[in-house]
Amino acid sequence: MLGREPSYDLRVPGLQHTATIAAPPARVWEVVVDVEHWPEQIPTVHAVERLDPGPLAVGSRTRLQQPPLPPAVWTVTELVDGSSYTWESTSPGVTVTATHLVEAHPDGSRLRLALNVSGPLSGIGWLLTRSLTKRYVETEAASIKRAAETPAT
C-alpha cells in the first residue's frame, strides 16, 4: 500500500471512494444512472421509487430505502450527462450530498463516489452512521463495478 493514493478521505463529515472499472465510461454511466435497477444490483438498496418521469435530470427526485436507515428522498442538484451527477437528501438538521463521477481511465473507467454531510446535527449524525455509510459506499462501488463489467445479455 506504500506510495498508493488512499481511496478514502474520512475527514468528518464525509468520505470518498474511488474504483477502477474495466468497462468504458458510457457503460459505467448507464449503470450509475439506472437507479430503478439498483435494488437488483446493489444489495444495500432495498427499494427505489422514482418520483418524476424520464431520465435523471436536475430537479429529479428518487426515494431510496436502505435499511436500517429511514427512507430518503434524493433530489438531483447537478448533472453532466454521461459524466456526473450530485443529489441531496435532507432530514431534520442534516443534509447529505452524494456525487457520482465517471471518468475515462487507461484501464476503462474510474468511478468516484463522494458523500458529504452538513447541517446543525451533521456531526452527531456522522458519528452514528459513518461506519455504515462507508460500508454502503464501498458496496455501491463494488456493485456498480460488477454490473458494468458484466456483459449485457
Question: Residue 93 maps to which CATH number?
Answer: 3.30.530.20
All cell numbers assigned to 80: 453532466
- Cα–Cα distances in angstroms (integers) from residue 109 to residues 10, 20, 88, 97, 128, in the given order: 23, 6, 24, 23, 33
What rounded mean pLDDT belongs to the chain?
91
Segment 50-71 shows an average pLDDT of 96
Q: How far apart are CA 46 and CA 66, in angstroms?
A: 6
Residue 6 lies in a domain: no
Residue 26 lies in a domain: yes
Q: How far apart are CA 89 and CA 95, in angstroms?
A: 6
Q: How far apart are CA 53 and CA 58, in angstroms?
A: 12
Dump pLDDT digits (tens) for 81-112. Answer: 999 999 999 999 999 999 999 999 999 999 99
Residue 135 lies in a domain: yes
Residue 144 lies in a domain: yes
Q: What is the total count of domains within the chain? A: 1
Residue 7 lies in a domain: no
Residue span of the structural domain in which 56 resides: 14-149
Residue 90 lies in a domain: yes
Q: How far apart are CA 14 and CA 116, in angstroms?
A: 4
Pairing of strands 94-105, 84-91: antiparallel
Residue 73 lies in a domain: yes
Secondary structure of 33-89 in HEC code, one letter for each residue: HCHHHHHHHCCCCCEEEECCCCCCCCCCEEEEECCCCCCEEEEEEEEECCCEEEEEE
pLDDT of residue 127: 87
Residue 52 lies in a domain: yes
Q: How far apart are CA 96 and CA 72, in angstroms?
A: 10
**Percent of the residues in the chain that have a pLDDT greater than 70, as a whole number:** 92
Q: How far apart are CA 111 and CA 49, in angstroms?
A: 24
Residue 6 pLDDT grade (very low, low, confident, very high; cuts 50, 70, 90): very low
Judge if pTM exceeds 0.85.
yes
